[in-house]
Chain A
Amino acid sequence: MYRYDEVDHRIVRERVEQFRNQTQRFLSGELTEDEFRPLRLMNGLYVQRHAPMLRVAIPYGHLASRQLRKLAHIARTYDKNYAHFTTRQNIQFNWPELARVPDILAELAEVEMHAIQTSGNCVRNTTTDAFAGVAQDELLDPRAYCEIIRQWSTLHPEFAFLPRKFKIAVSGSVEDRAATQVHDIGLHVVRNEAGEVGFKVIVGGGLGRTPIVGEVVKEFLPTRHLLTYLDAVLRVYNRFGRRDNKYKARIKILVKAMTVAGFAAKVEDEWQHLKDGPSTLRDVDVAHYASYFTDPAYDVLPSNPPELLEKQAAEPAFARWLERNTRPHKQAGYRSVVLSLKKTGVPPGDITADQMDAAADWADRFGYGELRVAHEQNLILPDVRERDLYEVWQLAKSQGFATPNIGLLTDIICCPGGDFCSLANARSIPVAEAIQTRFDDLDYLFDLGEIDCNFSGCMNACGHHHIGNIGILGVDKNGEEWYQITLGGSQGSHTTIGKVIGPSFAQADVPLAFEKIMTVYLEQRTEGERFIETVRRIGLDPFKERVYAKHH
């Protein structure tokens, strides 16, 4: 894990003092609301429905146990004993007091954390595969590059006031688990014919009001040119992106307007002036950052030790959890454990202070003091010895973390919705809960198999509903909450935007619509066919007919 040096500490401390000064000037009336808004947003501070909301950066989803304990402390001291993990691998506090936010930031700085650029029209937190460094299919550990991008993007003097927010994701593995095709810039590690590792650069993807799958602007960017190329893309966007209409200000609109070829040519032209400049990464620079992400001292262990297999055979509930909530590891004798934050009745992604402390303790006791935040809003213990899994499962159960639903229908990606967010058109949490309740029968849930269900309370698509196999979008009709269902979306290497199946539903009718969709799937699927594959094969019509039929 990256560790701050003296300079990183200084920059974050200076940022805390700058924000303390800005907050004081706002509270004393020296700064107007309009002047303070972009300044506070650049520091992750929203004014929400009930109170300010503070979003704290978890760079590329990496979290040390001591950092998680600090977040627990902040939840207890400054908030209501819980916090919420987001799809950008960040965490947010829903009830801080504005005047105390600088104190929260000062506490975060003690553990090398901050809220810099977690919101606002600037480069946001870089995201990556939650299993980076431990996945079996990795071509390149993306974390050193994520840290290099984090530093490059932090308080970048040229790009502090972009036309709109800007999101970058990096994938280092064959299977894309970072949704790189729906980001402003997606960097997907590839190997060229000469065997060199570089990035395929995808630009102009994004969800929100105009969902678009990004397009490739550079098939192969040698890794040493990463930062100069990012500078070129951002400079073109900063200069030529639209600023007259916030809905048309994202880079995806610029890429469409210029055509991808025109945009790529413009970037190439800009890049010629920057290429091989001082931001070019030398091997020694990359090695410096990579040295923070070396493997821990793994034990030499057999795979599938007898004590694991015994428990697995003896306890079906444990076997079920193993199947869903653990993941293969590159090191024999280890697995990654996903702690589910999708227990029925708890808002997806919410975590209590006590749960944070418990998870931090397990990270120390069963791993190497590190955790990950997944963009699916779950928490991960990346390195657990297989022989410890049974004990981890029992502890996870005791904290409500062991719902065996990872990747299943009830593992819903969900924004906070109208209960918290002032942008939302509809509530999402109670509807997500109603769906979870309807599909609470674990045998049925397991039989349905892998289904990504994504839920957003408004067009901003924080819940990534467009790329859910089944997506829900909250819509407002004359002051009433309605829910639109999409089918066929997917993330990963074959990212697809889902299609709306028809008129939206009243809140109470959503679970029934889901049930009908699942019934069609169960009737139509072939042996071993996943839900998304059935949807792709038979199309939307059979689902529409059933869901909207008058007599069923």
Chain B
Amino acid sequence: MRSIIKDGQITQDSWQVLRADVEGQYPTVAADVDVIVPLALWLADKPTWQARAGQTAVWLAPDDDPQLLATDLDRLPLVAVDFPAFTDGRGYSLGRLLRERYSYAGELRALGDVWVDLLHYLWQVGFNAFEIKDGKDLDGALSGYDTFTERYQSTHREPVPLFRRRVTSL
């Protein structure tokens, strides 16, 4: 069990992320564990994944097309997006697309090179769970939520941008 941040709290988590090894092979998964599988594996054999005893979720790589998952979203308990490097910003757009265009309402988890300095941005685009990178301070990462108490743009959390709220309050 590892600890993750979910909905603003540190919680114990049982999900395992299925990733290919250096030779591109996937390890076998016990039938009763909860597993997050890559999009390609999910698309290749949805019925088998759904028939398992454990739960199955899907993770997207930054260059995956979230539309391929659109019809599955209402039965997925969790969708994750991988950030192979914290400077790779594609996952932020994926987060917004999943939430805003495809109306995904379940757990949206950020994986990979994720730590305190990114939490605010990730939360704003719709992520609500964060697997903090090994070696990075998990407790300290919680402070990333409230680095900024206000923002200018329309985001998933606050769709009405500041300029509209400002004028309305005048």
Contact = CB atoms under 8 A, between A and B. Distances in A.
Contact of B147 (A18, A161, A277, A278): A18
Given A157-B125, A158-B96, A10 B87 contact: no
The listed residue with most A CB atoms (<10 A of its CB), out of B100, B137, B162, is: B162
Given A14-B147, A155-B152, A278-B154, A161 B89 contact: yes
A495 to B, nearest CB: 29
A151 B162 contact: yes
A11 B160 CA distance: 17
Interface string A254-291: 00000000000000000001000111011011001100
A157 B153 contact: yes
A494 interface: no
A161 B162 contact: no
B90 interface: yes
A221 interface: no
Contact of A235 (B93, B154, B170): B93
A152 B152 contact: yes
Nearest to A148: B163
Contacts of A121: 87, 89
Interface residues of A, number: 41
Interface in B113-162: 117, 120-122, 124-125, 137, 147-155, 159-162
B167 interface: yes
Interface in A123-169: 148, 151-152, 154-163
A533 B117 CA distance: 52
Contacts of B148: 11, 14-15, 18, 155
A14 B87 contact: no
B60 to A, nearest CB: 12
Given A22-B117, A238-B92, A288-B170, A278 B149 contact: no
Contacts of A441: none
A551 interface: no
Given A151-B162, A158-B96, A10 B121 contact: no
A550 interface: no
B90 A238 contact: yes
B89 A7 contact: no
A66 B17 CA distance: 55
A273 B98 CA distance: 13
A5 interface: yes
A3 interface: no
B163 A159 contact: no
A160 B92 CA distance: 9
A106 B124 CA distance: 26
Contacts of A284: 167
Contacts of A22: 117
B86 A155 contact: no
A492 interface: no
A160 B101 CA distance: 21
A38 B159 CA distance: 28
A139 to B, nearest CB: 23
Contacts of A288: 163, 166-167, 170
Given A235-B93, A285-B164, A288-B167, A155 B88 contact: no
20 contacts: A39-B117, A151-B163, A152-B153, A152-B161, A155-B148, A157-B92, A157-B120, A158-B89, A158-B125, A160-B92, A160-B121, A161-B89, A227-B154, A235-B93, A238-B89, A239-B93, A277-B154, A278-B164, A284-B167, A285-B163
5 smallest CB-CB distances across A and B, nearest first, come from: A161-B89, A157-B124, A151-B152, A157-B121, A158-B92
